[in-house]
Amino acid sequence: MTNTHDTSKILDKIKKCLELSKSTNANEAAVALKQAKALMEKYAIDEIDIKISVVAETETHSSNTKSIKNYEASLANLVAREFNCEVIINHVATKKWNGKSHKRSWAFVGLKPYNEIAAYVFDVLNSRLKKDRLNYVKYKLIGFYDKGLKTQRANAFCDAWVYRISTTVKDFAERKNPHKEIVDHYLAKKYPDIGESVESKKTKNYNGSNLDRKAGFEQAEGVYLHDAVHKEEIVKIGY
């Protein structure tokens, strides 16, 4: 197989032949099946390739930070789970005039268009979470000069925010994409050496953490996702 465009066209031809092979006309079915097998043999395509041809990857907006925040990983995993996708991390090192720069993005892998919806939902919610975190630190933690403690409190706020938003995402997604097994085949074929999913770690306990979690939970209650006529067309966020 040559390039992605040609591969897609070949797969489409094979799938059409396989559909015709189900014809009630025995002669037509036999000819179609023979053509499908011939194409599969010629281009070294197997049944798994055909199954995973409906799977795609959609990257989120890139980040300049190399480290992954626990609450960000939690958000990515919950969105992926609700849309029956898998989420992987892409790291890219780029050159700048004064040295190397780092770009990181999440890629949602799933059946079209669910992977696209999942990536967009994550981008929108992650952007809102970052904004709410900044405002919480700026206006609610203004009297704290211990940087470590301030970070822990802000993290607790974010953990609760993600916990609360999970209900919103679940209600919106409605689990309409049950073909998780196909996505697993895709990942096994394209990323055979991929590691385990990035999971979040438990936030350390400290005085005042319950107040921060309560604030994060309540802040997320004001965030909701609008349904469009077709979810694959557009997703909007409410304030």
pLDDT tens digits for range 121-167? 999 999 999 999 999 999 999 888 888 999 999 999 999 999 999 99
**Residues β-bridged to residue 87:** 108
Same domain for 123 and 212, yes or no, is yes
pLDDT of residue 232: 45
Give a yes or no: residue 50 inside a domain.
Answer: no
pLDDT of residue 145: 83
Instruction: Give the pTM.
Output: 0.78
Give a yes or no: residue 181 inside a domain.
Answer: yes
Same domain for 66 and 31, yes or no, is no
Which residue type occupies 191? Y
Same domain for 101 and 154, yes or no, is yes
Domain of 12? 4-45
pLDDT of residue 228: 46
pLDDT of residue 53: 87
pLDDT of residue 113: 87
Same domain for 143 and 230, yes or no, is yes
Same domain for 158 and 227, yes or no, is yes
Low-confidence ranges of the chain (pLDDT < 70): 1-5, 64, 66, 93-102, 175-178, 195-208, 226-239
Same domain for 114 and 34, yes or no, is no
Same domain for 41 and 65, yes or no, is no
Average pLDDT, the chain: 83
H helix runs in the chain, sequence order:
4-20, 26-42, 47-51, 70-82, 114-139, 147-173, 180-190, 209-220
The total number of structural domains in the chain stands at: 2
Same domain for 35 and 104, yes or no, is no
